[in-house]
């Protein structure tokens, strides 16, 4: 867990019965010489997405949402969505209607056609024209973004969870903060997970750093609360909080007497929902960094469930095939090994995503956790 190349790190592992390991190392802020603590608050970015997926599946259980219904049935502003095929010789965008409507299932599996403008060449060029607000600008204007391909024809990491966040609010009449707090965070006692930080919590927020190619670390501006609640990346959390979320899923949707999902629903989420498509295979218009970002386990052909990447292969010394996983931009990672009743979360606060030192630390952390299990058995 010690590394001079990463300012600070927190690692927690658990099974369905409880926490089996927790460790902290390094600094939460280098300039202030503040130690990272087990309850330090970190930006989890895209590790927000699995929580949004759970919220959607709660509404599916209640019959308020159907997976294979057009998302436009719940968000009418999506009815006129177009596919961006490219640009003509004069630079004018070539747009056409999609072959089929975007469904809720496709939004959960990154097969909807909605992509991130920062990782898709065509989407970046179109966003630069100013014809729709950026996903990073706040607000729901990004719903006017075009699709990069026909729904269901490709897998490409995108803004589907942000669309789902707006959909949750439309269906429930609650903000994401209200809904998540009532239906997920309070039942699971995740008291340090939220979209907005209070003045009392700010001192516990770890600084996020950008690492240069030479390894130099530069602090990024402090997080500010946003009026837009991003279902794709807006939450802050702690490692102890997030491990409770993972334990609930590991235990079939229940933790300490609080049930957030039915066992059958968790099993459904853990199944492959993209067929023969390969998660991480981004097609012909994605920027090179995208495919590299998902190459955490080279040579592994991965699938995608309802909100989770599914590791298809055994990780040497680590998780079993069929394990669920995802990550956040600032090199936060988790896995849920359903076969071995084990989950883990490793959190740093450095950019860029896929940092080699962070990935090496993740590998060492995971291997050490499984070695502990083997010794105990």
CB 237 within 8 A of CB 197: no
Q: How far apart are CA 276 and CA 253, in angstroms?
A: 28
3-state secondary structure the chain: CCCCCCCEEEEEEECCCCEEEEEEEEEEECCCCEECCCCCEEECHHHHHHHHHHHHHHHHHCCCCCCCCEHHHCCHHHCCCCEEEEECCCCCEEEECCCCCCEHHHHHHCCCCCCCHHHEHHHHHHHCCCCCCCHHHCCCHHHHCCECCCCCCCCCCCCHHHHHHHHHHHHHCCCHHHHHHHHHHHHHCCCCCECCCCCCCHHHECCCEEECCCCCEEECCCCCCCCCCCCCCCCEECHHHHHHHHHHHHCCCEECCEECCCHHHHHHHCCCCCCCCCECCCCCCECHHHHHHCCCCCCCCEEECCCCEEECCCCCCCCCCCEEEEEECCCEEEEEECCCCEEEEEECCEECCCCHHHHHHHHHHHHHHHHHHHHHC
Q: In what order do the strands lie in the sheet with 342-347?
A: 34-35, 19-29, 8-14, 342-347, 332-337, 323-328, 309-311, 303-304
Alpha-carbon Rg for the chain, nearest whole angstrom, is 20
Give the total residue count for the chain.
Answer: 377
Task: Give, rounded to a whole angstrom, the gap between the first and last alpha carbons of the chain.
Answer: 23
| Residues annotated as part of the active site | 46, 49, 157
């Amino acid at each position: 867990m010690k590394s001079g190349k990463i300012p600070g790190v927190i690692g927690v592992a658990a099974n369905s019965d409880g926490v089996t390991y927790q460790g902290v190392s390094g600094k939460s802020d280098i300039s202030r010489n503040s130690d990272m603590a087990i309850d330090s608050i970190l930006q989890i970015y895209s590790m927000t997405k699995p929580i949004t997926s759970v919220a959607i599946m709660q509404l599916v259980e209640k019959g308020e949402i159907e997976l294979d219904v057009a998302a436009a049935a719940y968000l009418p502003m999506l009815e006129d969505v177009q596919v961006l095929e490219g640009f003509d010789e004069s630079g004018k965008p070539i747009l056409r209607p999609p072959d089929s409507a975007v469904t809720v299932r496709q939004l959960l599996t990154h097969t909807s056609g909605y992509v991130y403008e920062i990782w898709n060449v065509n989407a970046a060029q179109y966003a630069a024209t100013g014809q729709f607000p950026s996903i990073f600008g706040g607000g729901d204007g990004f719903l006017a973004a075009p699709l990069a391909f026909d729904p269901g024809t490709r897998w490409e990491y995108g803004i589907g969870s942000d669309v789902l966040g707006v959909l949750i609010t439309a269906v429930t009449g609650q903000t994401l903060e209200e809904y998540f707090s009532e239906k997920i965070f309070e039942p699971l006692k995740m008291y340090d997970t939220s979209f907005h930080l209070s003045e009392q919590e700010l001192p516990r927020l770890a600084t996020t750093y950008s690492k240069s190619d030479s390894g130099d670390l530069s602090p990024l501006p402090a997080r500010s609360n946003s009026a837009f609640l991003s279902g794709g990346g807006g939450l802050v959390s702690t490692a102890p909080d997030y491990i409770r979320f993972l334990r609930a899923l590991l235990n079939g949707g229940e933790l300490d007497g609080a049930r957030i999902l039915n066992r059958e629903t968790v099993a459904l989420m853990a199944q492959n929902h993209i067929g023969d498509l390969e998660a991480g295979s981004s097609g012909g218009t994605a920027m090179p960094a995208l495919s590299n970002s998902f190459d955490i386990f080279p040579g592994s052909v991965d699938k995608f469930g309802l909100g989770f990447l599914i590791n298809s292969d055994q990780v040497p010394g680590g998780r079993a095939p069929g394990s669920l996983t995802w990550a956040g931009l600032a090199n936060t990672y988790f896995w849920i090994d359903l076969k071995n009743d084990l989950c883990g979360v490793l959190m740093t606060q450095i950019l860029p995503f896929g940092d080699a030192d962070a990935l090496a630390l993740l590998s060492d952390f995971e291997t050490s956790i499984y070695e502990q299990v083997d010794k105990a058995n």
